[in-house]
Amino acid sequence: MVVNLVVDTSVWSLILRRPRVDETHPLVRAFRAHVAADDGIFLVGNILQELLDGLRDKKNFDRLKRLLEPFPLVPLERDTYIEAAVLRQRCRTKGVQASAVDCLIAAACIQHGFPLLTADRDFSYIAKHSELALLTPQG
């Protein structure tokens, strides 16, 4: 059964931005397993931007842009942004200081029914106050 999921910047960084990838890391193994299973791996536009923002030279920028090209963007609509604002307000009332970008990523995942693969603990706090599903790799 094909699973559609969003992979967060924190996981992409483990795979793409390290001089040597730790293949034993549970999130790296989970990512590789989803790729091998031909699951649908999606990006949110903010994740794509964050990954490309950190690159200083054009050669690496172009290489990473090409590498990420096959991974489709989750479509964001007006309702996605509204839900992100509602989610951020809900988190604030619960004492969770979630960023606007993280709430937008969470709202996109919720809206499309996609779980999120992430190393960022902030999403676990958001998930406690929303329908955000997090993929928790074993290991």
Say what the pLDDT of residue 56 is.
Answer: 86
Answer whether 105's CB lies under 8 Å from 116's CB: yes
Q: Is 7 helix (H, G, I), strand (E, B) or coil?
A: strand
Q: How large is the average pLDDT for residues 44-49? A: 96
Q: Dihedral through CA 57, CA 30, CA 48, CA 75, nearest 10?
A: 160
d(CA 113, CA 121) in angstroms, rounded, equals 20
Q: Catalogue all structural domains in the chain, each as residue range(s) with its CATH number.
A: 4-128 (3.40.50.1010)
CA angle 29, 31, 36 (to 5 degrees): 90
d(CA 16, CA 21) in angstroms, rounded, equals 8
Confidence (pTM)? 0.93
The string of pLDDT tens digits covering residues 61-99 is: 999 999 999 999 999 999 999 999 999 999 999 999 999
CA torsion through residues 114, 66, 22, 13, sign: negative
Answer whether 133's CB lies under 8 Å from 127's CB: yes
